[in-house]
Amino acid sequence: MAESKPYGVGTGRIRTIKPEYFHNETLFDLEVETGLPIRAAYPGLWCQCDREGRFPWRPRMLKTRIAPYDNCDFSRVLHALASRGFVVGYRVDGVEFGWIPGFVEHQIVNNRERASKIPECGENAEIFTTSTRAPRVPHASTMEGNGKEGNGKEGKLPIVTPTEAGETVPKKQSKLSLIVQAVNAARIVKNTQTLRCVNIRKPNNMLSTFVKDPLITADEVILMFEHAAAKWSGDPATRDYIRQATLFQPSKREDYLSAAQDWNAEGRPAINSGFGGQQQTTAQRLGLTNIGGPR
C-alpha cells in the first residue's frame, strides 16, 4: 500500500448538528443491530472530515479521536455506516479514504478552513465499501445561519453506490436543491449586471420555506424569476429587485406568483417597466398596482 502519512487524522473541526439527528431511526436500528456506538461515532466523524466531507480511512487513529473510551473495533463502525450509505470508503493510488455524501451541501464551513488535500471520490477512485441503500443526506447539518457553502464536486454530481442486487441508485436530492439547480440552469437573465441576482449560490430562508409547499414546482419558481426579469431587467432603477429577497418575502410571494401566472397565461407580453420620462411609484415600477384587485 502507498504511503498514507500525508493524510493523517487531525485534532478535529467544529461542525453543526440539527435536533432531528437524534430522531434518526436508521442509525438507532443500526446501533442495536451491531452493538456499536454508531450514533455517537457518526457526528464525531464529521469533526474529522475536511471541508469537502473527506477523511483518511484510518480506523485505529479515528477511534482515538472519536471513541477513545469505547471497547470497539472502529473499522466495524465505519463499515456499518457504509452499509447504510452514510459514508463511502474508496481508494486512490492504493490509499484508503472515506467520504460523507451530502456533507458539502449542508454543513456550514468556516471561510478560513483550508482546502482539502484528499483526492475526491471520482472516476479514478475504487470504492471498497458496499451499501444496501442510496447515500443519505445527514440530518446533522443546516442551511441556515452565516457561513460559506462548500465547493466540493461531490455535492453537485449524482453519486451512485452498489446495492445488494448489484445495481446502482442515484443520490436523492431535496426539492429545494433541485429547484435551485433548475433556476441556475435556466440562466434567465443574461445581462451581467443582473445575472448575479438569479444565480442562486445559497438559498435563503424565504425561498426554502416557499418551496416546502408541495404545490410549488421548479417551473413556477423559474416563472417568477422570468416575470421579474421581463419587468425589471431593462431598468437600472428596478434591476436589483430580481432576487430571492424580493420575490419570496412572505407578504408578497403569493402575489408575485399570481402575477407571473397571469402574465404567462396572456402569452408573456412585453412589459414596459421603465420610467418613460414620468416618475412612477414603487408599486407601479414593481408591477403591483393591480395585484389583489379586480381583473
Helix (H, G, I), strand (E, B) or coil at 22: helix
Digitized pLDDT (tens) for each residue of the chain, 295 residues in all: 444 445 555 568 889 988 888 998 999 999 999 999 999 999 999 999 999 999 999 999 999 999 999 999 999 999 999 998 899 999 999 999 999 988 887 788 888 888 999 999 888 889 998 765 544 444 433 333 333 334 443 333 333 333 443 444 444 567 777 777 777 776 665 454 444 456 676 777 788 787 777 777 878 888 888 888 888 777 777 777 777 778 888 888 888 888 888 888 888 888 865 443 344 444 444 444 444 444 3
**What values do phi and psi take at 220, rounded to 5?**
-70, -40
Neighbours of 209 (CB within 10 A): 14
Nearest partner of 182 among 211, 145, 146, judged by Cα: 211
Ramachandran assignment for 33, one of left (phi > 0), alpha (psi -120 to 50 degrees), beta (any other): alpha
What's the confidence (pLDDT) of residue 18?
Answer: 86
Q: Within 13 A of 249's CA, how many CA atoms are on the CB side?
A: 7
Global pTM reads 0.46
Neighbours of 228 (CB within 10 A): 28
The span from the CA of 46 to the CA of 44, in Å, is: 5
Helix (H, G, I), strand (E, B) or coil at 127: strand
What's the confidence (pLDDT) of residue 89?
Answer: 93
What's the confidence (pLDDT) of residue 65?
Answer: 93
Which three cell numbers mark 22?
Answer: 437524534
Q: What is the CA radius of gyration of the chain?
A: 24
